[in-house]
Structure 1
C-alpha cells in the first residue's frame, strides 16, 4: 500500500513507473516463515509483475549420520555415500519449502527456490543479494527478550545487506522494522535540506522551495511511515526534545514558522500518499483532514503567541522549549494514529477475506451435503431392490433344496431296494449251486518234492506255528507253511486260517494258493521282500524303505483291516497285527498274513461295537490291547491299538517297547524329527507329525478314546498317501536290490 502511494507520487512528479520487481524472501522453514511469505505476497503483488526468490540457508554438510545415532566426518566416508546423503538433505529441504512455493503459486506469481549451503547465514544472504542485485529483501524479525543483549540476527542481516537493497523485517505478519535503500535515504536528506533552505532564503524563492519540499516531503513522509516501529519513533521523538532542550535555547520565531510550514507541507504529502495507498477503503480523506486541522490549529496558536509578544526577539527560551515539545508530541501522535489506522485497515481486509472464505466453504459444504443426501436416497432404493432380489433367490434356493432332498430320499430307497434284491439273488444262487471251494488241494508228495523233503536250504522262516519253505509248485513260486504240531488248538488255527483266506479276497491280504489239509500245509503266494519287521529293523542288511512308501503301507494295512472288520456274514478281528505279519512283494506292496488267531463275531447292525469274551489273551506282547489283556474282552478297537503301534514303528523303525511314551514326549517337546528314522529320507514335518498324532490316538489305553478306523483313520491315511505318491513321482525311483523273504510266524 505504501509503495502504491510512491508510484502515484512519482506520477505526480513526472517520474517514470518502477520496473518489474524481484523480491527475495529469506525463510528457514519454521512456523514463522508463513507469516513472512504471506506479508510479502500482500505487500508486493499489487506492484505488477513480481518474481519471488525464496532463499533457504542450510548448514554445510561436514558429517554423515549413522544408524547408531553417531556421525562420521565426510572425509572418512565414500563419495557415493556422501552424494546420496547430500541428495537426501536437498530433497528434505525442498519438501520443507514446498508449502511456501504453493502459497506463491496460489497467488499466481512466479517463484523460485534458491538453496544455499553455508554456516554463516548473514554472509550467505548478503552475498546472494549482492550477486543477484535484489532491490527488496524480506526477512523474519528475530524475537528478543527483555534482558537479551547484543544484536539479533535480523539486525545483523540489515546491516550487512548492500545499501541498494531495501530490507523489510516482519514479525507475526506485521512490518516490524525497515532499513531503506540509498535512494530512500537520499530522499530524506533532501527533505532536511529543504527545510533549512526554506528558513534562510528570502521570500522571492518561496515558491520554488515549496515545490522542492513537496517532492521531498512525500518521500520523507514515506520514510517516516515505514519507520522501524512505534516504540522506536517515540524514543527518537524524546531524543529530539532533549536535544532541543539542551542545545537549541536561542531559536528565532522564523525558525519556528519555517518548521510549522514544513510540517504542514510534509503532512499534506503524507495525506496524498496515504490516500493513494488506502484507496480501497473509501474514506482516507477524513483522517488526512483531521491531521491537517491538528497542525493548522497548532500553527495558529503559535501565530497568536507571536502576535501578543513584542516581536520575534521577545520569545523566551522556555516558550521555545514548550513549542518544540508540543511540535514533537504532535508528530509522534500523528505517526501513532497512522500506524493504528494501517493496522485497522489490514485487519479489515483480513476479516473480509476470511468472511469470503467462510462463505465459500459454507456453500461448498452445502453442495456436498446435498450430494450426500442424494446418494443416501439412491442407496436406500438400491437396498430395497437388493432385498427383493434376496427374497426371490431365497425362495428359489428353498425350492431347489426341497427337490434335492426328495431326489436323495428316492435314490436312497432305490439303493436299499437294489441291495435287498442282490442279497436275495445271492442267497438263491447259494441255495441252488452250494458253497464253492475257493482253494486248491495239493498232494503231499508234490509238496515234499517241491521242498526237497523240507530242506533247510529252502527254509525261509521259523515261528511258533511252524516252518516256512520256498518252493515251486506247478511252475509257480510259492511259500509253504507246515504245521509242526498236532495239538488241538494248532489244528483249530489252521482250519480257521484256511476258512478265512479261502472265503475272502482283498488286494492287501495274503493270497492262499492252496492247501494240504491232511498234513497241515498252507501254500501262499511268495513275497519277495519279506516281512515289514525285517525291512524296518534292517535285518540282513536290507535297504531301507523310503518315507513315502511307509505312508502308503500304513494306508494299505488300514484298508485291509477295515475290510476284515466289515466282512460278511461275520466280522473278522485279526488279534495278531504286527510288522512280522505284514509281508512285502517286489514292489513293496504290503499284505496281511497269519489270520489263524482271528476271531469271528456275529455280523449285525452293531457288529463293530460287539465284544466277545475269551478265556485267555492271544497275540504278541506290546501289540495286545490293554483292555483285552485286562478283561479278556475282544473288539475291533483291539486291532486299532496294534495298528497305532505299527504306525509309530513305520515312523521310527524302533522296537515297540515303550515306543508310545517316547513318541508322545517327543511330540509335546517339539523333538519329533529326532525320533524319526533317518534312513527313510527327508521326512515332511507337518504330514509326519499328523501321522504320528494319529498313531498316538490309535494307541490310547482306553478303547473308547481310539478313533474309528473306517470313518476317522482311513480318510486321513488316504490323503497322506496321495501326498506321498506326489512326492514319490517327483523323487528318483529307489532300487531295492536285496529281496529276502521271511515268513516266520
Structure 2
C-alpha cells in the first residue's frame, strides 16, 4: 500500500510538472506572438512614418513649385535651372566667362545641358531689380517671335536668366566695330536688320490682352546670331499698356509712368510728360535706323542727318564701311527714320501700317541686288555648304528658308508639314504659341550666292 501511495504521488507530481510545462509553453508562445505583433506594428509604423515624410516632402516641393509659378506667372514655358548648374556652366561666374555688364546685371557665357548659353545675373535683389527680373520672365517667358531673344530658363532664387547665345554680339558693337576680326555690316544687312527689329516691335505692340512697349530699344539691346539675324533682348524695362481714351475720344494704349530707358533713345514727349505709348518705341526705332545708316553715336544725330538731307549731301553722313549704298532706297530709309524720330508722338508714323511696309519693300529690293548677295558668304568656299544652310528636319540645303516661332530656321515645306501634325518645336520640344513663319532673307541670299558660285 505504501508503495502504491508513493506511485500515485509521483504520478501526480509528473502530471503537475507536465501541466506546468504546458502552461510555460503556452506563455512562451503567447509572448512570442505578442513580440511578433509588436515588431510587425513597429515595422508598419516605420513604413507609415517614412511614407508620411515622403508625402510631406512631395507636398512641400509641389507647394514651392506652385508658389514660384504664381510669383512668376502661370504660363510656364521655360526651364528651371539649379544654381549649382549655372555656377558649373560659368566656372563660378568667373571673369573669363564674362561677356558684358550693364546697369541691370552681368552676362556670362557657358555651356548648360549641352547648350551654349548666355547667363544674365542681376546685380542685386533690390525691389526695382526684382521687378525688372519678373517683367523679363513675364514677357520673354510667355511669348515667342523669331526676332525676340529666346529665353531658355531661369533660376529665380538667384535672379538669374538663361538665354540663347548670340555669337555675333550686339548691333552696337558691330556698328562701332569693337569686335576684332569681324567685317563691318554691309548696307544690305542693315536694311534687313531694320525690318527685323520693326517686325518684332509690331509683334510686341499687338500682344494680347495688353500691348507691350519695350521702352529701352537701342543697338546695345539688339543682338546678332551667327547668321547676323537680329533679335531684341533686355525687356526688363518693358511695360504693359492699358487701353485708355485719348483726347480725341479714340481708344489707344498709353500709360503715365516715371520715364525710364537710355538717354538719346527716350521719347522726348515721354521724358517730359511721363506718358508712354507705342509711339515711344517708334522714336527709339527712328534713332536706331539713323545709326544703322550712319554708324554714328545717337547724340545730335537726327538734326545732323536732317540737315544733310535738306542740303542734298546725304552721302557725306552715310557709313562708308557698309559698301555702296543704293541712293534712292537709302534716302527713303533715312526719311522714314527722320519721320519716326519726330519730337511729338502725334507726328510719328504708324509702325505697322506705314513703317513696316516701307521697310519690307526696301528689304526685298536689297535682296535682289547683286551687291547684297555677298553679305554672308564672302569668304565661304563653294565646295561644301555651311551647316546652317541645312534644314534641321530634312538635313538638306534649304530651298525656302523661314524662321519659325522657336527662333530656328527651317525649309518652309518641312516645317509646314511638321506644324500640321505637331504643336511643339522640333528643336527644343517647347510649345509653339503660333504657327507664323517669317522668310529668312539673309540665309536665302547666302544660299543663292553659294549655289551660283558652285555653278
Q: Is 1:576 the counterpart of 2:219 in the alignment?
A: no
Q: Which residue of 2 aligns with 1:31?
A: none
1:627-675 per-position Cα deviation (integer Å, ceiling 9, x unaligned): 0011111111100000000000000000000000110010011100110
Q: Which residue of 2 aligns with 1:503?
A: 142
Deviation at 1:601, TM superposition (A): 1.3
- Output the TM-score relative to the length of structure 1: 0.40
Deviation at 1:736, TM superposition (A): 8.2
2:109 aligns to what SS in structure 1?
strand
Indicate if the aligned counterparts of 1:625 and 1:638 stay in contact, CA closer than 8 A.
Answer: yes
Deviation at 1:728, TM superposition (A): 5.5
Deviation at 1:605, TM superposition (A): 9.8
With over 3 angstroms needed to count, the CA separation of the structure-2 counterparts of 1:544 and 1:564, relative to structure 1, is: same
Unaligned runs of 5+ in 2: 1-72, 380-455
Deviation at 1:724, TM superposition (A): 1.0
Deviation at 1:611, TM superposition (A): 1.9
Deviation at 1:729, TM superposition (A): 7.4
Indicate if the aligned counterparts of 1:622 and 1:657 stay in contact, CA closer than 8 A.
Answer: yes
Unaligned runs of 5+ in 1: 1-433, 738-745
Q: Which residue of 2 aligns with 1:561?
A: 201
Deviation at 1:441, TM superposition (A): 0.1
With over 3 angstroms needed to count, the CA separation of the structure-2 counterparts of 1:681 and 1:520, relative to structure 1, is: same
Q: Is 1:494 the counterpart of 2:133 in the alignment?
A: yes
With over 3 angstroms needed to count, the CA separation of the structure-2 counterparts of 1:436 and 1:628, relative to structure 1, is: closer
2:374 aligns to what SS in structure 1?
coil
Q: Which residue of 1 aligns with 2:290?
A: 648
Q: Which residue of 2 aligns with 1:320?
A: none
Q: Which residue of 2 aligns with 1:701?
A: 343
- Structure 2 distance, partners of 1:604, 1:472, is 45
Alignment of 1:243-262 (within 5 A): none
Q: State the structure with bigger RCO (CA 8 A, min sep 6), 1 or 2.
A: 2
Deviation at 1:436, TM superposition (A): 3.8
Alignment of 1:341-352 (within 5 A): none
Q: Which residue of 1 aligns with 2:68?
A: none
Deviation at 1:734, TM superposition (A): 3.9
Deviation at 1:730, TM superposition (A): 6.1
Indicate if the aligned counterparts of 1:687 and 1:720 stay in contact, CA closer than 8 A.
Answer: yes
Return the match for 2:256 from 603, 613, 627.
Answer: 613
Q: Which residue of 2 aligns with 1:264?
A: none
Q: Is 1:595 the counterpart of 2:235 in the alignment?
A: yes
Q: Which residue of 2 aligns with 1:439?
A: 78
Deviation at 1:609, TM superposition (A): 2.6
Deviation at 1:540, TM superposition (A): 3.2
* Structure number, greater radius of gyration: 1
- Output the TM-score relative to the length of structure 2: 0.64
Q: Is 1:451 the counterpart of 2:90 in the alignment?
A: yes
Q: Which residue of 1 aligns with 2:307?
A: 665
1:490-512 per-position Cα deviation (integer Å, ceiling 9, x unaligned): 00000010011111000000000
Indicate if the aligned counterparts of 2:191 and 2:363 stay in contact, CA closer than 8 A.
Answer: yes
Q: Is 1:480 the counterpart of 2:122 in the alignment?
A: no
1:573-611 per-position Cα deviation (integer Å, ceiling 9, x unaligned): 100000000000000000000000001012589898332
- Structure 1 distance, partners of 2:243, 2:193, is 28
Deviation at 1:731, TM superposition (A): 3.5
**Higher-helix-fraction structure:** 1
Q: Is 1:466 the counterpart of 2:105 in the alignment?
A: yes
Q: Which residue of 1 aligns with 2:425?
A: none
Return the match for 1:688 from 330, 337, 340.
Answer: 330
Deviation at 1:617, TM superposition (A): 1.0
Indicate if the aligned counterparts of 1:556 and 1:590 stay in contact, CA closer than 8 A.
Answer: yes
Indicate if the aligned counterparts of 1:565 and 1:573 stay in contact, CA closer than 8 A.
Answer: yes
